[in-house]
């Protein structure tokens, strides 16, 4: 066996264990009996310990030194393995254990604090986690920018400075667009009524298939939070239902189908290698957002969906045009996950700036609530009424996810670029979407993005697919055109 | 860390991996998308490889040499680990791999041959498997009896000779009882009608809870074959439904609940140690059979069930006494899994003798069909009409399970002993069962058998619970009394 083969053999078993851990995670959210939580925690702890031991196995260093790749896939494999090995080696075991321990406690504290609307109850453990994350960032960065070192875990190659420049260009135009929409004379109506949840699931299943999700290699279940899980031949999604809000179920499903199709469409030869998964959070989110928004919420597709809704739930009391406005309606809210295409990114930009300041040491975690509210008022024009609708709304920081939030907006930026390229490549796409058929677009994404898995670097995937380096321009143009028209009245 | 602690640490991770493999097995039979089969096979292959490497880790030998146990549980742990390590070490890797490969092929061949009713198509691969199993048995036995070495995997401490003596005592009395029942003038009626499968599931859920299954630490799903899976706080069962045969669903559920309660009731301190699972197949089967038969099919309980059936499905057209006869009805059949309390053991005895002769070399696998039919005619008085209703009906031999069948009847023998002890200990048990409440009996089993997990040896568990060495007498007395009364007419 060559050193490369030995390395890939070792990696294959690691990837299999990772897939298995993912499957147990799915089980935990969908099927696991309530009383099994503690035992499952122990099982996952052992599995994570094994995974950590495998990822830091000193033989990897030896193999990497001697391994030669014979093709671009081999080079990409070595790049991924080297990056993961070097990152893992830089974090002392003591620190990794402390992070695992504190974040597992913090998640519970966060849930309690949010329930009680009490930021002060969460501040001490948040302070401890930020301390540990700063320590981790310093260890990972090797003298470079600490925030970049965290960001790199979710979006290899991205830096806080380049994202910051991109986000600074987004912010004023998004705020202006938001103000213009909310200030318009004619506002789209909110959806009213009660919608049978079984029929929501039926329709969301139909949408999943229309968007290319292969149910022979996946399944849809209900869970508290929608998510996608698994790779290759077994990629499962969850959705949720709310009788008052069928869009939640339908668009959560389309969103997760975007993630799932990315995984299902990766070249099967990459299974159980580092190339066998989506290459970054940003690129992953570009797929889910494009499926959900640029395709799922465009006028041609909602025209078709309007008929489907009527079939399932009876007359909606509005025509296709009004329905299109309703699907894309902006409202004055507080919650990121409930916001629309325009305001969503403002929510993310706020979090990006605050977490960057916490990691740099410029913002003390105990001052987070004040900083959040001040910034929220700047961007949205009003104050959150409570911490649970402000800085306590997201779980991310409590579980140690710093550097994760910006990939949401980066995904939207990538989706903007890809959407422009798709519209160029498929001029009659709307004719298909108006029949409920997004496959010309999803096939294009499959062939230009998804099939490559981890072969190219994140920005490179987008640049290769679109023919130019990604930037925020296409997203802004798209949003201004779309929402300018909806709120023209 | 002492050698004992190091050994138990290693073992703990092995047990966790084993639990995880079991959970994936459950997923495969209940939730997994069809197209994921191949990928799952690869995942399980990697996991089995890791498990094998952990079980044969040479450090185990060193630790075992130096380890001291400080209490009976420690001694039992060492005994289990030593046994498993020595067994694994005796089988050459080449042979283990050949067995894994051939049995995975053979399972498909068996299914095809059964479908085509063609024993000749199965004979060559069966011959190969018996060859490999004989090789394995010779390696395991170290000069002792080869069949005993295989049996020991499922029923530690049992031998072919002691089972044979027990079964020889059973056979004539079972045949006589069967003939008496089937020759009686008044025969119980078969159940007639169609029974809503959702209501079957509803009632079976109620039965599961009545028999002590904790749904906070378990769940019930439909699968092709009923089974129980998992240990500790996560023990799941499956059942199946047939509109024409509600007893299949109800009694499969009670049977699996017997297995599941054994696992759920083991001392939680034993979790992730070798004591954290049922001690043998025979003792496991004693629980499931006792729940299903001695409790679930007794006259007091079926009297209550008669009312439950009427509530769910309407008037059955028979009174309680007739219903009791119907539940326990014997018929002239061919299939082990469809047979009754009396004839079931005759099916097992036949397989035990034939597999013992194949392992000893006395019966060539190519002659199995003739030998099966001859023995079947001896014991049942008529010939199977086809191989699929004869020697091709069970999957066991195709997957290499030799030495497994006799544990079914051994379980019945143990159940006979335990039932006699329970009836002595709880004289008013029937009053409870007549109210649909088996808990005095299931609590007795929990406290006298289940809680101990793997602490005692199999026969020892039964002897401690009942106060005497187990033998076939109580089972025979019970069967003759029960069926003598039902078929008195």
Fold for B100-489, please state it.
1.10.1370
Long-range own/partner contacts, residues A113-121 (CB < 8 A, 24 or more apart): A113/A387, A113/A392, A114/A387, A114/A388, A114/A392, A114/A393, A115/A388, A117/A386, A117/A387, A117/A388, A117/A392, A118/A387, A119/A368, A119/A369, A119/A387, A119/A391, A119/A392
pLDDT band at B105 (very low <50, low <70, confident <90, very high): confident
Residue B47 to residue A16, Cβ atoms within 8 A:
yes
Specify the pairing of strand B220-222 against strand A220-222.
unpaired
**Cβ pair A232:B32 closer than 8 A:** no
Distance CA A250, CA A246 (A): 6
Mean pLDDT of the region B354-369: 98
Q: Which two tokens stand for residue B96?
A: 């283990």
Instruction: Indicate the domain borders of chain B.
Output: 1-90, 100-489
Give the distance, in angstroms, between the CA of residue B448 and the centroid of all CA atoms in the same chain.
20
* pLDDT over threshold 80, residue B489: no
Any CB–CB contact under 8 A between A183 and chain B?
Answer: no
A27: nearest CA partner in chain B: B27
Burial of B330 (0-12, 13-18, 19+ CB in 10 A): buried
B39 contact residues in A (CB cutoff 8 A): 232-234, 271
From chain B, pick out residues whose CB is under 8 angstroms from the CB of A43.
16, 19-20
pLDDT digits (tens, 9 = 90+) for A210-223: 999 999 999 999 99
Q: Does B24 touch chain A (CB under 8 A)?
A: yes
Those residues with Cβ within 8 angstroms of residue B293's Cβ, 6 or more apart along the chain or in another chain: B341, B415
pLDDT 10s digits, B410-447: 999 999 999 999 999 999 999 999 999 999 999 999 99
Contacts of B219 in chain A (CB under 8 A): 31, 33
- pLDDT score, position A366: 97
Of B13, B219, B232, the CB nearest to A50: B13
The whole-number pLDDT of residue A489 equals: 67
Nearest-CA distance B187 → chain A (Å): 44
Measured CA to CA, the distance from residue B119 to residue B115 in angstroms comes to 10
CA–CA distances in Å: residue A456 to residues A139, A280, A282, B410 = 27, 10, 14, 61
Residues of B labelled catalytic: 256
Give the nearest chain B residue to A34 (CA atoms). B216
The confidence score (pLDDT) of residue A100 equals 87
How do strand B236-239 and strand B220-222 relate by DSSP bridges?
parallel
**Interface contact A39, partner B, CB < 8 A:** yes
CATH architecture of A157-489: Orthogonal Bundle (1.10)
> Which residue of B8, B13, B15, B16 to mutate against A (max A Cβ within 10 Å)?
B16
Please check whether residue B39 touches A, CB under 8 A.
Answer: yes
Q: Which residue is closest to B12 within chain A, CA to CA? A: A46
Q: How many CB atoms lie within 10 A of CB B96?
A: 17
Contact A271 B39 (CB under 8 A): yes
Is residue A214 within 8 angstroms of chain B, CB to CB? yes
> Could you read off the pLDDT of B398-407 as tens digits, one per residue?
999 999 999 9
- Catalytic positions of A are 256
Asked if A272 is an interface residue toward chain B (Cβ–Cβ < 8 A), one would say: yes
Q: Sheet containing A228-229: which strands, arranged edge to edge?
A: A220-222, A236-239, A228-229
% of chain B with per-residue pLDDT over 90 = 94
Q: Is residue A80 part of an annotated ligand binding site?
A: no
Please tell me the predicted confidence (pLDDT) of residue A3: 97
Please list, in sequence order, all residues whose beta carbon lies within 8 angstroms of the beta carbon of residue B274, skipping any fewer than 6 positions away.
B11, B15, B76, B77, B80, B81, B84, B454
Residues 376-405 of A with CB under 8 A from B: none
Q: Which residues of chain A have pLDDT under 70?
A: 489
Counting residues of chain B whose pLDDT is more than 70, the rounded percentage is 100
Q: Is B234 on the interface with A (CB under 8 A)?
A: yes
Q: Is B259 annotated as a binding residue?
A: yes
pLDDT of residue A104: 84
pLDDT in tens, B246-298: 999 999 999 999 999 999 999 999 999 999 999 999 999 999 999 999 999 99
Q: Is A48 on the interface with B (CB under 8 A)?
A: no
Rounded average pLDDT over B5-10: 97
The pLDDT score that the predictor gives to residue A101 is 87
Give the pair of three-digit tokens for residue B61.
């030998």
B54 touches chain A (CB under 8 A): no
C-beta atoms of B214 and A35 within 8 A: yes
Searching chain B, which residue's CA lies closest to the CA of residue A18?
A: B43
Among A292, A269, A270, which residue's Cα sits nearest to residue A279?
A270
In B, which residues are within 8 Å of A233 by CB distance?
Answer: 33, 35-36, 38-39
- Does B53 contact A at CB distance below 8 Å? no
B93 has pLDDT over 90: no
For A160-181, the pLDDT digits (tens) are: 999 999 999 999 999 999 999 9
Q: Is B255 annotated as a binding residue?
A: yes
Which of B12, B19, B39 comes nearest A234 by C-beta? B39
Mutate: best of B20, B41, B45, B272, partner A, most A CBs <10 A: B20
- Across the range B193-197, mean pLDDT stands at 96
CA angle B390/B394/B396 to nearest 5° reads 140
Strand A228-229 relative to strand A220-222, pairing: unpaired
> How far, rounded to the nearest angstrom, does the alpha carbon of residue B277 sit from its chain's CA centroid?
14
Q: What stretches of B417-459 adopt beta strand conformation (E)? A: none
> pLDDT band for position B76 (50/70/90)?
very high
CB spacing of B43 vs A19 below 8 angstroms: yes
């Amino acid at each position: 066996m060559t050193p490369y083969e030995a390395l890939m053999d070792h990696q294959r078993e690691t990837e299999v264990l990772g897939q298995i851990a993912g499957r147990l995670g799915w089980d935990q959210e969908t099927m696991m009996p309530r009383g099994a939580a503690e035992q499952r925690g122990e099982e996952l702890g052992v599995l994570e310990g094994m995974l950590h031991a495998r990822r830091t196995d000193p033989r990897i260093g030896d193999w990497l030194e001697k391994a030669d790749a014979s093709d671009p896939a081999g080079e990409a494999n070595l790049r991924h393995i080297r990056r993961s090995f070097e990152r893992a080696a830089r974090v002392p075991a003591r620190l990794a254990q402390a992070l695992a321990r504190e974040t597992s406690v913090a998640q519970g504290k966060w849930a309690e604090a949010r329930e009680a609307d009490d930021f002060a109850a969460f501040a001490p453990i948040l302070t401890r986690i930020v301390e540990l994350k700063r320590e981790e960032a310093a260890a990972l960065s090797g003298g470079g920018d600490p925030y970049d070192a965290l960001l790199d875990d979710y979006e290899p190659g991205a830096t806080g400075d380049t994202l910051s420049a991109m986000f600074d260009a987004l912010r004023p135009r998004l705020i202006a667009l938001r103000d213009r929409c909310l200030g318009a004379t004619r506002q789209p109506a909110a959806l009213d009524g009660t919608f049978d949840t079984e029929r929501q699931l039926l329709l969301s299943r139909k949408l999943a298939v229309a968007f290319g999700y292969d149910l022979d290699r996946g399944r849809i279940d209900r869970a508290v939070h929608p998510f996608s899980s698994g790779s290759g031949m077994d990629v499962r999604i969850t959705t949720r239902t709310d009788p008052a809000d069928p869009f939640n179920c339908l668009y959560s499903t389309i969103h997760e189908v975007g993630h799932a199709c990315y995984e299902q469409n990766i070249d099967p030869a990459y299974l159980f290698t580092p190339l066998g998964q989506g290459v970054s959070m940003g690129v992953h989110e570009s797929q889910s957002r494009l499926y959900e928004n640029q395709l799922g919420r465009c006028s041609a597709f909602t025209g078709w969906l309007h008929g489907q809704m009527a079939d399932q739930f009876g007359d909606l009391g509005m025509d296709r045009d009004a329905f299109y406005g309703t699907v894309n309606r902006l409202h004055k809210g507080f919650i990121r996950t409930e916001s629309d295409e325009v305001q969503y990114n403002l929510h993310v930009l706020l979090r990006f700036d605050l977490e960057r300041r916490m990691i740099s040491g410029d913002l003390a975690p105990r001052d987070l609530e004040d900083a959040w509210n001040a910034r929220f008022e700047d961007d949205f024009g009003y104050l959150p009424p409570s911490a649970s609708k402000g800085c306590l709304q997201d779980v991310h920081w409590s579980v140690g996810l710093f550097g994760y939030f910006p990939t949401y907006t980066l995904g939207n930026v990538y989706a903007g670029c890809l959407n422009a390229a798709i519209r160029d490549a498929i001029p009659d796409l709307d004719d298909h979407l108006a029949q409920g058929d997004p496959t010309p677009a999803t096939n294009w994404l499959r062939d230009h993005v998804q099939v490559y898995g981890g072969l190219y670097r994140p920005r490179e995937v987008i640049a290769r697919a679109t023919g130019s380096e990604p930037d925020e321009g296409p997203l802004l143009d798209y949003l201004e055109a779309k929402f300018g028209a909806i709120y023209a009245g």
